Structure 1
């Protein structure tokens, strides 16, 4: 019933938070105060090491998300405080519909009250609020200056808003301070829009360019892991674009500015796309930009920004052959450029040429161990559509022999099964992997790919034969997990061996893995009918590690 009412349940909280944070959240249920239910969200305060504010967004069919201003929560994690608030909501689920209704009534009442106030009463209310809230007063002052086209006042305030120094306590803006700085940058963007719409669009263009230049420099010293500052800077760039649309600046001068931004060292902040300005640039501006891009390309033919700018301009002109020629000048060894050419040609209705370029890409990357998988998929998909199954197998076989990875083996298996030739292909593929294993060519986790392939095939007997002195711990555990019923004694020996090195290290991940191994061992003992032996083993282990209280808690939760 609770999940139906609030749109989530305990399992959703556990999935979002992870076992560790979920269990910790249970200990904070009594620390939740000030729970306030809105129409689509819940806010509360949680008293922990400090006092933290939590907001849960209840998305109905889309589930739940949470935000907390604790350090862990500010890293984007669904923390223990979010869990505590979520559990509190679930425990009060029956009251949630009534509280939501009350929230709607309050919002409606506020709206009705404000509507009924006279102009003088509204002014008095605003004056009261700006007298108590300094930030609100500053925001309104900026809006007023923009509305009256007081460009000097707007410029001064914008420069204050985008100045990173008040937030840079140690010479740079830390993660925890990025959101506050982003809010100020968004205020600057709002002011620029207001200035442009208030009859000073040309001045707004110049101020926006000044702000973008300063923000490009400031962005280098910001920990913007969540991208909030980048979004705010993009809003300033958007205000510049809007102002240009109103002011219609000189197109050639605008083209020169845009090119300087794209080719500059500090375009990471705004990530400007010059083609967004095409309607402002017009033919003259686009021609000037193309001229500047060509000159930059000649000066730096390998430059990423130069290549990007030229590609965007050529693509906008709709000349597919010119775009193909441009891509063909710098073919990347991974085959990604061949794929781009193929996609452009196919989009232009030239499917045969597209496939020819993709096939060329496979030929020219045949000896590369790492090729863009999308190129391989592209060719195989076209072959499969045309019923060319044998050629699909040939491509997959070639990539498998070059990569020797589990993924390449799986792709080969799928293609060969579709072509009804997997038995023959499998024998040859396993022979290659056995040769690699003998040469100690390890897989991603050091164990040979041969064992991963056999496990993926479900060929456990062969996997056991090959595992001796070759498998890594990950493969041994997977082998044991898959063999609990068929070979419980062998699987049990693996579990017990893997437990031993985990007795020394500490930490939740170690404890959780230890619990999984012990659960596997318990299953083997059940299959063998030796539950008493497992109980005795577990009792000795718990006595040995009894001082690790978190481990004991995890074992208790698993019934161990």
Structure 2
């Protein structure tokens, strides 16, 4: 069901919870299956209620009211239910089919009841179920257009008080609160369906304000409150399409909403309101957005809104103006502008902005490397190879790294200028002390020069190992010296990782002795090593496996 497997359960729960869940499979009871969900009880220290949500594009999720599960973890009880699902796939499919059949039978029975019998049934149920009574009372108030009553009930539904301890709704209670909040959205939609779209629009905005005011005090780890916010935004949008509010007032509200700190909760896109706004409202929307941006040019929300509106209207100059008003010192914004202009086919202007980004960066060592790559690529594609080399040379001079060395080499080779550029670059690296110099020479496959640089300037163990590996065929004695030194260090360490490294070195040492014609020396070395390391059983086992 939903492609659930033991491997997925292990990944969701982690090794410890998965292994503990194996012992609880027999404690699973009362399994119920529906469309995309499975519920059951699991007997642990107490009896816990668990639910798995399966299917769709999202990975399986679950809830459990045990202490560990209430913290948002995929607990051992969920593992037990998941394993039950995996083992009873066919049975649960039949159970789900049976549940659907019962639902159809129930619907047929309800449809066959007379009006009086149906009313009597509802009265009986609301007398027993307080929550059902409240939901129906709210729907009734919405249907008759009792705005004051609906507003009062919506405030009650969005009040976190009944769910909060010390002013905060914990994870264990967040789901119940979110379900109650959904009732507020249903009430607003019912109001709109009863030809009260304007009132629905007003209440939707009020509900957004209430929800935004409490969201930071709710543990919404499962994202249910975010879903309520999205539903509330949809209800507002639908109400606006029906109510046709004043376009200028709507435009002002949309801009305010887009710039609000809680905008992510509702994810309202002003461009979705183009229909109820009309030309007049869209003009007002752009006006208010521009005013907000001019008042706070560096604000992320203001810039994002302006860019969205400008791109929608294919106003590339406004997009550039927004970026240009707040240029980053590392050239990142210059690159964004260059890319926008390239997309618009204005390549000459794009090149000017990219070059300006390099010029205006105070320190080329801190420049956005993507800007350097972009400009170098443009130079190469337009056959300005000398300019590409100059750019890469300057960047390498500011940042002495193996990457910038490789990039300079690629540009210089394309321009047929590498020998001269290489010597100048190596001189800069020699002046630094040599660590990057060794890497650069190894990357050039100039092993002899790399050996010399390592001996003169020093190298770290990884570089020495690479040198030894690359030169073992031609310089086995030098390589052997390196391997023996590194192996000596590892003999003082414990752990499988150290043992694996040591065995790898021993194989290389054996190869060196073979090339030097001194296999007996290797035998003596290994015998002494085994004697001194004999208590390391895993090391001895690895050596045996490799014939050492």
**TM-score normalised according to structure 1 size:** 0.70
2:10–2:18 contact (8 Å) kept in structure 1: no
Q: Tell me the distance in 1 between the aligned counterparts of 2:167 and 2:307.
A: 38
Is the counterpart of residue 66 in structure 1 residue 61 in structure 2?
yes
1:38–1:100 contact (8 Å) kept in structure 2: no
SS in 1 for 2:61: strand
Is the counterpart of residue 30 in structure 1 residue 23 in structure 2?
yes
1:216–1:269 contact (8 Å) kept in structure 2: yes
1:537 aligned residue: 535
Cα–Cα, structure 1 residues 367 and 261, in superposed 2: closer, same or farther, change >3 Å? Answer: same
Q: Tell me the distance in 2 between the aligned counterparts of 1:413 and 1:72.
A: 56
Equivalent positions of 1:217-236 (< 5 A) are: 217-224=213-220, 227-236=223-232
- Cα shift readout 1:147-176 (whole Å, capped 9, x = no counterpart): 332222221121112223333322334455
Deviation of the 1:28 alpha carbon: 2.4
SS in 2 for 1:55: strand
Q: Tell me the distance in 2 between the aligned counterparts of 1:319 and 1:351.
A: 17
Q: Tell me the distance in 1 between the aligned counterparts of 2:368 and 2:51.
A: 43
Deviation of the 1:465 alpha carbon: 5.3
SS in 2 for 1:230: helix
2:514 aligned residue: none
1:67–1:74 contact (8 Å) kept in structure 2: no
Is the counterpart of residue 187 in structure 1 residue 183 in structure 2?
yes
Q: How many residues in Structure 1 have an aligned counterpart in Structure 2? A: 502
Is the counterpart of residue 270 in structure 1 residue 266 in structure 2?
yes
Deviation of the 1:359 alpha carbon: 3.5
Equivalent positions of 1:226-375 (< 5 A) are: 227-264=223-260, 266-267=262-263, 269-365=265-361, 367-372=363-368, 374-375=370-371
Cα–Cα, structure 1 residues 389 and 368, in superposed 2: closer, same or farther, change >3 Å? Answer: closer
Pick which of 456-465 and 488-497 moved more.
456-465
Cα–Cα, structure 1 residues 8 and 28, in superposed 2: closer, same or farther, change >3 Å? Answer: closer
1:147 aligned residue: 143
Equivalent positions of 1:508-519 (< 5 A) are: 516-517=497-498
Is the counterpart of residue 209 in structure 1 residue 205 in structure 2?
yes
Cα–Cα, structure 1 residues 322 and 417, in superposed 2: closer, same or farther, change >3 Å? Answer: same
- Cα shift readout 1:505-535 (whole Å, capped 9, x = no counterpart): xxxxxxxxx5544555566678876796698
2:208–2:232 contact (8 Å) kept in structure 1: yes
SS in 2 for 1:53: strand
Deviation of the 1:320 alpha carbon: 2.0
Q: Tell me the distance in 1 between the aligned counterparts of 2:9 and 2:408.
A: 39
Q: Tell me the distance in 1 between the aligned counterparts of 2:15 and 2:189.
A: 44
5+ residue gaps, structure 1, are: 439-447, 500-513, 542-560
1:24–1:80 contact (8 Å) kept in structure 2: yes
Deviation of the 1:332 alpha carbon: 1.9
1:495–1:517 contact (8 Å) kept in structure 2: yes
- Work out which of the two has the higher radius of gyration on C-alpha atoms and give 1 or 2: 2
Q: Tell me the distance in 1 between the aligned counterparts of 2:490 and 2:177.
A: 52
2:160–2:177 contact (8 Å) kept in structure 1: yes
Q: Tell me the distance in 2 between the aligned counterparts of 1:228 and 1:489.
A: 61
5+ residue gaps, structure 2, are: 473-478, 511-525, 540-548
2:290–2:306 contact (8 Å) kept in structure 1: yes
